[in-house]
Amino acid sequence: MKRIALIAHDEKKSVMIEFAKKNRDLLRECDLVATGTTGKLINEEVGLPVERMESGPLGGDQMIGAEIAKERVDGVIFLRDPLTAQPHEPDITALLRVCDVHNTPLATNVATADIILHGIIEKE
Question: What value, to the nearest 5°, has the Cα angle with vertex 86 and ends 6 and 50?
Answer: 20
CB of 69 to ligand 13P, least distance (A): 17
119 a known binding residue? no
List, as one string, the DSSP characters of 45-93.
II----EE---GGGTHHHHHHHHHHTT--SEEEEE--TTS--TTHHHHH
Q: Least separation, in Å, of the C-beta of 60 and ligand 13P?
A: 5
- Is residue 37 part of the contact set for ligand 13P (CB under 6 A)? yes
- Active-site annotation holds for 61: yes
For 30, which DSSP code?
S
Q: Site map for ligand 13P, 58-77, x if CB under 6 A?
A: --xx----------------
The stretch among 24-32, 51-59, 100-108, 112-120 that binds ligand 13P (CB under 6 A) is 51-59
Q: What are phi and psi of 21, to 5 degrees?
A: -65, -45
Residue numbers in the known binding site for substrate are: 9, 13, 35-38, 55-56, 88
